Amino acid sequence: MHLSKYISKNIPVVKVFEEVGKSIDKLLKGTERNQIPIFALTITKPFRLTDAIYTTFSNKSFEISFKKVGIAAKVTISLFMEPYLNVIKVSVCNLEDLEVNFFNYEATKPNNLFQVMGSKHECRIHNPQICQGLVVAISKNGTRIDVTLLDIQNYIPLILKRINN
Protein backbone atom coordinates (compact mmCIF):
# COMPACT_ATOMS: atom_id res chain seq x y z
CA MET A 1 0.00 0.00 0.00
CA HIS A 2 2.72 2.47 0.96
CA LEU A 3 5.20 1.44 -1.73
CA SER A 4 2.60 1.66 -4.50
CA LYS A 5 2.26 5.43 -3.88
CA TYR A 6 5.90 6.00 -4.85
CA ILE A 7 7.14 3.07 -6.93
CA SER A 8 6.32 4.58 -10.32
CA LYS A 9 7.55 8.08 -9.53
CA ASN A 10 10.73 9.20 -11.23
CA ILE A 11 12.66 9.65 -7.97
CA PRO A 12 15.80 7.90 -6.68
CA VAL A 13 15.25 4.55 -4.96
CA VAL A 14 16.62 5.92 -1.69
CA LYS A 15 13.96 8.63 -1.76
CA VAL A 16 11.25 6.04 -2.52
CA PHE A 17 12.13 4.09 0.61
CA GLU A 18 12.42 7.26 2.70
CA GLU A 19 8.92 8.29 1.64
CA VAL A 20 7.54 4.78 2.24
CA GLY A 21 9.06 4.81 5.75
CA LYS A 22 7.51 8.22 6.50
CA SER A 23 4.13 7.01 5.21
CA ILE A 24 4.24 3.92 7.43
CA ASP A 25 5.35 5.99 10.44
CA LYS A 26 2.48 8.41 9.88
CA LEU A 27 -0.07 5.58 9.65
CA LEU A 28 1.23 3.74 12.72
CA LYS A 29 1.96 6.81 14.89
CA GLY A 30 1.10 6.06 18.51
CA THR A 31 0.71 2.28 18.03
CA GLU A 32 3.00 -0.54 19.11
CA ARG A 33 5.05 -2.02 16.25
CA ASN A 34 6.77 -5.37 15.97
CA GLN A 35 8.60 -4.41 12.78
CA ILE A 36 10.23 -1.21 11.66
CA PRO A 37 11.07 -0.68 7.97
CA ILE A 38 14.78 -0.32 7.24
CA PHE A 39 16.85 -0.32 4.07
CA ALA A 40 20.55 -0.60 3.31
CA LEU A 41 22.39 0.61 0.25
CA THR A 42 24.81 -1.55 -1.75
CA ILE A 43 24.80 0.38 -5.02
CA THR A 44 27.55 2.63 -6.30
CA LYS A 45 25.52 5.11 -8.32
CA PRO A 46 21.99 6.54 -8.06
CA PHE A 47 19.24 4.74 -9.94
CA ARG A 48 15.46 4.88 -10.14
CA LEU A 49 12.91 2.08 -10.14
CA THR A 50 11.76 3.47 -13.49
CA ASP A 51 15.24 3.11 -15.03
CA ALA A 52 15.49 0.96 -18.13
CA ILE A 53 16.43 -2.69 -17.77
CA TYR A 54 18.26 -3.99 -20.80
CA THR A 55 18.89 -7.64 -21.35
CA THR A 56 20.79 -9.66 -23.92
CA PHE A 57 17.56 -11.12 -25.26
CA SER A 58 17.85 -11.59 -29.00
CA ASN A 59 15.03 -12.41 -31.36
CA LYS A 60 14.60 -16.11 -31.99
CA SER A 61 13.01 -17.40 -35.19
CA PHE A 62 12.27 -21.01 -35.98
CA GLU A 63 9.80 -23.18 -37.81
CA ILE A 64 6.86 -25.02 -36.28
CA SER A 65 4.74 -27.59 -38.01
CA PHE A 66 1.14 -28.60 -37.85
CA LYS A 67 1.65 -32.26 -38.67
CA LYS A 68 -1.98 -33.27 -39.05
CA VAL A 69 -2.48 -30.89 -41.98
CA GLY A 70 1.12 -30.66 -43.22
CA ILE A 71 1.49 -26.91 -42.71
CA ALA A 72 4.66 -25.18 -41.54
CA ALA A 73 4.92 -21.67 -40.12
CA LYS A 74 7.69 -19.38 -38.97
CA VAL A 75 7.57 -18.22 -35.34
CA THR A 76 9.51 -15.27 -33.98
CA ILE A 77 9.89 -14.67 -30.26
CA SER A 78 11.11 -11.20 -29.37
CA LEU A 79 11.03 -8.61 -26.65
CA PHE A 80 7.77 -6.73 -26.46
CA MET A 81 9.67 -3.48 -26.02
CA GLU A 82 12.89 -1.92 -24.78
CA PRO A 83 13.45 -1.48 -21.93
CA TYR A 84 12.71 -5.06 -20.99
CA LEU A 85 9.44 -5.37 -19.08
CA ASN A 86 9.27 -9.16 -18.62
CA VAL A 87 6.93 -9.42 -21.59
CA ILE A 88 7.73 -11.29 -24.79
CA LYS A 89 6.00 -11.15 -28.12
CA VAL A 90 5.25 -14.28 -30.16
CA SER A 91 4.51 -13.78 -33.86
CA VAL A 92 3.48 -16.45 -36.34
CA CYS A 93 4.11 -15.87 -40.06
CA ASN A 94 3.27 -17.68 -43.31
CA LEU A 95 -0.35 -18.40 -42.33
CA GLU A 96 -2.09 -15.49 -44.03
CA ASP A 97 -5.26 -17.40 -44.98
CA LEU A 98 -5.67 -18.97 -41.50
CA GLU A 99 -6.68 -17.71 -38.08
CA VAL A 100 -4.21 -18.28 -35.25
CA ASN A 101 -5.17 -18.55 -31.58
CA PHE A 102 -2.86 -18.90 -28.60
CA PHE A 103 -3.57 -20.71 -25.33
CA ASN A 104 -1.57 -21.46 -22.19
CA TYR A 105 -0.73 -25.17 -22.01
CA GLU A 106 -1.52 -24.99 -18.29
CA ALA A 107 -3.72 -22.33 -16.74
CA THR A 108 -1.85 -19.61 -14.87
CA LYS A 109 -3.24 -17.24 -12.27
CA PRO A 110 -3.38 -14.45 -13.14
CA ASN A 111 -3.67 -15.08 -16.86
CA ASN A 112 -0.41 -14.04 -18.53
CA LEU A 113 -1.33 -14.52 -22.19
CA PHE A 114 -2.82 -11.80 -24.35
CA GLN A 115 -3.69 -12.06 -28.03
CA VAL A 116 -2.96 -8.75 -29.74
CA MET A 117 -6.12 -6.94 -30.84
CA GLY A 118 -6.16 -6.33 -34.56
CA SER A 119 -3.49 -8.93 -35.21
CA LYS A 120 -4.56 -12.47 -35.88
CA HIS A 121 -1.02 -13.86 -35.65
CA GLU A 122 0.55 -12.29 -32.54
CA CYS A 123 0.37 -12.62 -28.77
CA ARG A 124 2.19 -11.31 -25.71
CA ILE A 125 3.21 -13.36 -22.71
CA HIS A 126 3.68 -11.53 -19.41
CA ASN A 127 6.06 -13.30 -16.99
CA PRO A 128 7.08 -15.92 -19.57
CA GLN A 129 9.12 -17.76 -16.93
CA ILE A 130 5.86 -19.15 -15.50
CA CYS A 131 4.54 -20.29 -18.88
CA GLN A 132 4.60 -24.09 -19.10
CA GLY A 133 3.97 -24.04 -22.81
CA LEU A 134 2.08 -22.21 -25.52
CA VAL A 135 -0.54 -23.96 -27.62
CA VAL A 136 -0.78 -22.50 -31.11
CA ALA A 137 -4.06 -23.39 -32.83
CA ILE A 138 -4.91 -22.74 -36.47
CA SER A 139 -8.43 -22.44 -37.85
CA LYS A 140 -10.03 -21.83 -41.20
CA ASN A 141 -13.42 -20.11 -41.36
CA GLY A 142 -13.85 -20.65 -37.62
CA THR A 143 -13.13 -24.40 -37.71
CA ARG A 144 -10.03 -25.56 -35.86
CA ILE A 145 -7.84 -27.68 -38.11
CA ASP A 146 -4.72 -28.33 -36.01
CA VAL A 147 -2.69 -27.37 -32.94
CA THR A 148 0.95 -27.53 -31.93
CA LEU A 149 2.79 -26.99 -28.66
CA LEU A 150 5.57 -24.45 -28.23
CA ASP A 151 7.89 -24.84 -25.22
CA ILE A 152 8.44 -21.19 -24.30
CA GLN A 153 11.06 -22.14 -21.68
CA ASN A 154 13.47 -23.00 -24.53
CA TYR A 155 13.35 -19.43 -25.83
CA ILE A 156 13.49 -17.09 -22.83
CA PRO A 157 16.62 -15.63 -21.20
CA LEU A 158 18.27 -17.81 -18.53
CA ILE A 159 17.86 -15.04 -15.97
CA LEU A 160 14.08 -15.39 -16.21
CA LYS A 161 14.24 -19.12 -15.54
CA ARG A 162 16.14 -18.36 -12.34
CA ILE A 163 13.50 -15.91 -11.09
CA ASN A 164 11.15 -18.74 -10.07
CA ASN A 165 13.87 -20.94 -8.52
Does residue 96 or residue 42 have the better pLDDT? 96
Cβ neighbors of 30 (< 8 A, separation 6 or more) are: none
Q: What's residue 130's pLDDT?
A: 84
Q: How far is CA 2 from the centre of its chain?
A: 24
Cβ–Cβ contacts within 10 Å for residue 125, how many?
A: 24
In this prediction, residue 151 has a pLDDT band, given cuts at 50, 70 and 90, of: very high
Q: What's residue 47's pLDDT?
A: 60
In this prediction, residue 83 has a pLDDT band, given cuts at 50, 70 and 90, of: low
Residue 40 and residue 49: Cα distance in Å, rounded? 16
Assess if CATH 1.25.40 describes domain 60-163. no
Chain segment 31-72, per-residue pLDDT in tens? 877 766 666 766 666 666 555 555 566 788 999 999 999 999
Q: What's residue 53's pLDDT?
A: 56
Return the bridge partners of 66, or none.
Answer: 71
Residue 40 and residue 58: Cα distance in Å, rounded? 34
* Portions of the chain given CATH number 2.60.40: 60-163
Would you say 126 and 86 are in contact if contact means Cβ atoms under 8 Å apart?
A: yes
Handedness of CA 56, 165, 112, 60 (dihedral sign): positive
Q: What's residue 65's pLDDT?
A: 95
Does residue 22 or residue 67 have the better pLDDT? 67
Q: Which amino acid is at 115?
A: Q
Chain segment 108-118, per-residue pLDDT in tens? 777 889 987 77
Pairing between β-strand 99-104 and β-strand 113-115 as defined by DSSP bridges: unpaired
In this prediction, residue 11 has a pLDDT band, given cuts at 50, 70 and 90, of: confident
Intra-chain end-to-end CA distance of the chain, in Å: 27
Would you say 62 and 74 are in contact if contact means Cβ atoms under 8 Å apart?
A: yes
Residue 76 and residue 158: Cα distance in Å, rounded? 18
| Average pLDDT of span 134-148 | 94
| Average pLDDT of span 147-160 | 83
